[in-house]
Structure formats: structure tokens, C-alpha cells
Amino acid sequence: QVQLQQSGPGLVKPSQTLSLTCAISGDSVSSNSAAWNWIRQSPSRGLEWLGRTYYRSKWYNDYAVSVKSRITINPDTSKNQFSLQLNSVTPEDTAVYYCARNPPSGIAVKSFDYWGQGTLVTVSS
């Protein structure tokens, strides 16, 4: 059974960096077929995909255009986890942030089958 456990602060000051971590159990961040995503949800923007990291003989990242200049998603193979960093945050980045997996095989790869518990991040001074 795959489990994703999120950690990180719930309050970030404007202009600072939002940092969250997603620890994986039951699968590997270095899987050659799964992918590891960050998604956020807010009343104003709904569910918004932010980006992903995945390993296919080497590491790849994809990012949403809306945050591409501010986002970094990194794998940490020693701890079997991946992280989200979002720089220069504003109150518009206030949201519940989720990590989620694209499953490793078949047509289901086009969905998100396991999710973290969610972290409410508020951007405020």
C-alpha cells in the first residue's frame, strides 16, 4: 500500500520561500514508471497542478507555466521523498498543497492514484 506523508510549515511570509516535503512509503521516488506530483487547491483557483518529477534512466521535471519561474521539485533518493519549493510567494499562493502519484503502468498513468494528506499553507505577514 502506497502512502504519501507531507510535512512543512503552514505559514509563510510574503516574498519568502514555501517548502514542503512528501515522504513515500510502499513505492520508490526512483521508480522507472511512476511520477511524483504537487497539486494545490484554493477557492479561487480550484485544483491546480504545479509540477512533477520522475525518473526514466535520468531525472526529469515538468512545471506549470503559471509557476515555472518560481518552482523547484527535487527528489531525495536517500530519504525516498520529494520536495516542493515555491519562491517569492504572495497571498495568492495561499492554498492546500497536495503531493500525488501518477501510477506506474497502464492507462491509469494519466490519473493520480495516491495523494498526501494535504497541507494548508497560508501566506501572510
Partner 1 sequence: DIQLTQSPSFLSASVGDRVTITCRASQGISSYLAWYQQKPGKAPKLLIYAVSILQSGVPSRFSGSGSGTEFTLTISSLQPEDFATYYCQQLNNYPPTFGQGTKLEIK
Say whether 95 sits in a helix, a strand or coil. Answer: strand
Which window, 8-16, 25-33, 60-68, 71-79, contacts partner 1 (CB under 8 A)?
Answer: 60-68
3/85 with CB nearer partner 1: 3
Q: Which is nearer to partner 1, 48 or 76 (CB)?
A: 48
CB 102 within 8 A of CB 109: yes
For residue 37, the Cα-to-chain-centroid distance in whole angstroms is: 5
Q: Is 62 in the site for partner 1 (CB under 8 A)?
A: yes
CA distance linking residue 29 with residue 60, whole number of Å: 12
Question: Which residues of this protein are in contact with partner 1, per CB under 8 A?
Answer: 46-49, 62, 64-65, 98, 100, 107-108, 110-113, 115-118
